[in-house]
């Protein structure tokens, strides 16, 4: 079974609007962390935001927030006030306490911001 | 404050040649990870190393692939007798510790390997 599922291969959003990128995960480990990364066309992976499985509140980092629904095993990324520079691939990833060292990545969502 | 450095950024090899990919972790980081990204896919874990030790190589193909992180110098991912299916982007990441679940891994810019 896939550890991380991103069902939206591509998304479009109007500049200055908000957009939600979906991510669901599968784990039996009660302790885990969820991460979102941005990969622009230049190829590097940029860390955006983190949510721990025991965190009571949704994580926020500037224009990024994470809609964490633990019972549904979803960790959707919300980008508010989209900017042209937000156009990129976005990857959801998970790290489990039991497996520790490796990150499991989804297949990514390509976001295009339209002026 | 330099980030994770990888070189070369692009590498072209013919089938049967060897590919050597280098990774210098961020200053102060002693944990190195290698990931492979095939076209249209997410990153897949290959191997986790600390200085002079391979800690977890569960994602590494059993043949032709090897990795090292010597006491001095960068980490090396080596692919012998490359085949077309090895064409991919190879990312290196580093972290200072693994103690905290929320510790992110810091990624390098990747090496794009093309096998002709």
pLDDT digits (tens, 9 = 90+) for A45-93: 899 999 999 998 999 999 999 999 999 999 999 999 999 999 999 999 9
Of A35, A46, A107, the CB nearest to B42: A107
Q: A28-54 burial, b for 16+ CB within 10 Å, e for fewer?
A: eeeebbbbbbbbeeebbbeebbbbbbe
Q: How confident is the model at residue B98 (pLDDT cuts 50, 70, 90)?
A: low
A46, closest residue in chain B (CA to CA)? B107
**What stretch of H or E contains B43?**
strand B43-50
- Positive/negative CA dihedral, A77, A81, A82, A83: negative
Q: What is the mean pLDDT of residues B22-43?
A: 91
A32 touches chain B (CB under 8 A): yes
Q: Would you say A31 and A55 are in contact if contact means Cβ atoms under 8 Å apart? A: no
Smallest Cα distance from A47 to chain B, Å: 7
Whole-angstrom distance, CA of residue A40 vs CA of residue A111 = 10
Min Cα distance A112 → chain B (Å) is 16
Percentage of chain A with pLDDT > 70?
A: 98
């Amino acid at each position: 079974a896939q550890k991380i599922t991103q069902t939206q291969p591509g998304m479009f959003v109007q500049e200055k609007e908000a957009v939600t990128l979906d991510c669901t995960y599968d784990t039996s480990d009660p302790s885990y962390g969820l991460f979102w990364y941005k990969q622009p066309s230049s190829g590097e992976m940029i860390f955006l935001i983190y949510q721990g499985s025991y965190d009571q509140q949704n994580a926020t980092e500037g224009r990024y927030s994470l809609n964490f629904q633990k019972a549904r095993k979803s960790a959707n990324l919300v980008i508010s006030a989209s900017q042209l520079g937000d156009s990129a691939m976005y990857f959801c990833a998970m790290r489990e306490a039991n497996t520790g060292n490796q990150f499991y990545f989804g297949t990514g969502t390509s976001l295009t911001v339209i002026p | 404050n330099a980030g994770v450095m990888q070189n070369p950024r692009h590498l072209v090899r013919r089938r049967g040649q060897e590919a050597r990919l280098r990774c210098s972790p961020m200053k102060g980081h002693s944990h190195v990870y290698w990931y492979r990204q095939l076209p249209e896919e997410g990153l897949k874990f290959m191997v986790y190393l600390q200085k002079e030790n391979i800690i977890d190589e569960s994602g590494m193909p059993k043949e032709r692939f090897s990795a090292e992180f010597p006491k001095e110098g960068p980490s090396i991912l080596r692919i012998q007798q490359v085949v077309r299916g090895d064409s991919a982007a190879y990312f290196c990441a580093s972290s200072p510790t693994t103690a905290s679940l929320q510790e992110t891994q810091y990624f390098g810019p990747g090496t794009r390997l093309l096998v002709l």
